[in-house]
Each structure stands twice: as C-alpha cells, then as structure tokens.
Amino acid sequence: MRLATLRTPHGTRAVRIEGATALELDAPDVGALLTQRDWAASAAAGGGARHDFDRADLAPVIPYPSKIVCVGLNYRNHILEMGRTLPDHPTLFSKFAESLIGAADPIALDPLSDAVDWEAELAVVIGARVRHADEPTAEAAIAGFSVLNDITMRDWQYRTTQWLQGKTFESTTPFGPVLVTPDELPGGVRPRLALRASVDGETVQSANTGDLVFDPVTLVRYISAIVTLNPGDVIATGTPGGVGHARTPARYLTNGATLVTEIDGIGRLDNVARAVLVPA
C-alpha cells in the first residue's frame, strides 16, 4: 500500500494511491492515520474524494512527527572507504518537524549559512507504540518507508561537537513523496533498494539500502530502548558517500540548484534551492 498527505483547498488529507489516483481517507494526514486502531485495514478499505496524484500538492508524508531520530555513519562501504572501523552502536541526533518540506517544495537557503549540503536517506515510519522492542515487535512496529534528504548546514553543524544546530534549519528537509508498506518492497522491513541523489542532473550519491550497518529493525530496537516510539515517528537511517562537504573542493547547494532524491520502489523528491530573506 502507498499512502501520502495531500494539500487541498480544505486542508491536508491522507490518501491511498491507486495508480495515478489518490483516494482521500478519514484522516487529515498520514501521521494521524497511523494513530488509528487497525490503520492498515482502514486505509485499505477507505476511499473518498479522488485526486490526480501526478498533479497533487504534496505535504511532508508525516507533517508533524513527535520525533525525528537521525542516524549518522551507517553505510558500510562508505565507512570502510574512509578508513574507519564499523561502529558498535548507532550515532543518533535529532531534527524538528519545522524542518520538513514536501516532495516538490523549495529548500530554504538561509543567508546565515553558505555550506548547505545534501544527504539522501531512507526514512522509517513507525506505525505502533513501542518500547524496549524485541525483534518481532520491532518488525511489526514499522508502518513503512519513505525518502528523506537530511539537508545540513555544515558550517553550523561543526560549530560544536553537537550536530543539532546544523541539521534542523527551518523548511529545508524534503520528506516523501509517499509511505510504502514493507510488503510492497524487496526485503520487507529490511529493504534492499537503490538510492540516488543528483544536483542539477549530475549524480552525486548512489548506494543500496542493503548496505546499512544498522538496519531498520535494529534501529527500532535500539531507539525504543531509550524512548517510546509512537505512531508517525520517523527514523532517518543515514546517508552514503557523495556528500558535498567531503569533496575537493567542497560543493554546496546554491540558489536555483535542483536536488533530486530517489529510492527505487518508493519515489522521488524534486526540490529547488531558493534563497530566503531573513528579517534584519
């Protein structure tokens, strides 16, 4: 099943995607849908007003997650090619919901940063409340997967040893276009999918999600040992090599640059970087 959150003249609505048609469901967004008992059965059976999905105005697939937990250093080949040893535990940090944008929304280039970088990632979306999960419980808690680009202000990220301030600038993080349930993906809750990012038509990242050191189930188990994961919470699983900051010379997003982020079997984000004015 494929789900999305559409912006309509009457507010956002959760929809189920059938081919090129989006069918409205009884929830204002996918995050709200996931809080319903038996949400999957409700989503599969529902079908109200119809929309042309190809022309739809997409909000972030989960507009207001209570938590966005991000993972660093999680692609095996990238870690090894940098001469590092594989980590024993995930590196975790956070983003806030205000950073999220839709699949075709502009990325806000804040003039406070001149080092805006890309990080293509597989996003895990939680569909059930879970704490101290064992493996079967963690598997069952995964509602599905989406695409996210963890846009990062590198100059702010490295001001201190704590990354948060460079990771959550407002209106920067594309997230969508849809949530795809595990049964539709090769590998299920441990999907093996090609992931790519391009800037102005040039491929800058290319990997496979099967190369994750800590797979989605492992991450749900680990994070739920720390804090309760709730329906609609998001885990961004990390990015492979190819980010702009690691290039010589470094390369960053500039005004008018087009960033495309895509994962086979899920979908594609098309976002243009746009300079924004900040009040004096």
Whether the per-residue pLDDT at 280 is higher than 90: the answer is: no
Whether the per-residue pLDDT at 231 is higher than 70: the answer is: yes
The pLDDT value given to residue 77: 83
Average pLDDT over residues 53-58: 96
Residue 247's domain is classified under what CATH number? 3.90.850.10
The pLDDT value given to residue 28: 98
The pLDDT value given to residue 79: 84
Q: Identify any residues that bridge with 26 across adjacent strands, giving them in sequence order.
A: none
The pLDDT value given to residue 279: 73
Asked whether the beta carbons of 73 and 91 are under 8 A apart, the reply is: yes
The H or E element containing residue 120 is strand 120-126
Full domain range(s) for residue 123? 62-275
* 78 and 19 in a common domain: no
Task: For residue range 220-229, list pLDDT tens digits in order.
Answer: 999 999 999 9
Q: Is residue 66 part of a domain?
A: yes
Residue among 128, 5, 131, 109 at smallest CA distance from 61: 5
The full DSSP string for 189-203 is: TS---EEEEEETTEE
Give the whole-angstrom CA distance, residue 9 versus residue 28.
Answer: 13
Whether the per-residue pLDDT at 199 is higher than 70: the answer is: yes
Residue 30's domain is classified under what CATH number? 2.30.30
The pLDDT value given to residue 182: 98
Q: Which of 10, 29, 59 is the last residue of a domain?
A: 59
* 126 and 32 in a common domain: no
Q: Which two tokens stand for residue 15?
A: 């929809």
In this predicted model, which residue has the larger pLDDT, 142 or 82? 142
Average pLDDT, the chain: 96
Q: Is residue 29 part of a domain?
A: yes
* 34 and 151 in a common domain: no
Query: Strands 173-180 and 2-8: what pairing?
Result: antiparallel
Whether the per-residue pLDDT at 59 is higher than 80: the answer is: yes
* 111 and 22 in a common domain: no
Q: Is residue 20 part of a domain?
A: yes
Whether the per-residue pLDDT at 65 is higher than 70: the answer is: yes
- Measured in degrees and rounded to the nearest 5, phi and psi for residue 150 equal -80, 70
* 51 and 73 in a common domain: no
Task: For residue range 8-50, list pLDDT tens digits in order.
Answer: 999 999 999 999 999 999 999 999 999 999 999 999 998 899 9
To the nearest 5 percent, what fractions of the chain are helix, strand and coil?
20, 35, 45
The pLDDT value given to residue 150: 98
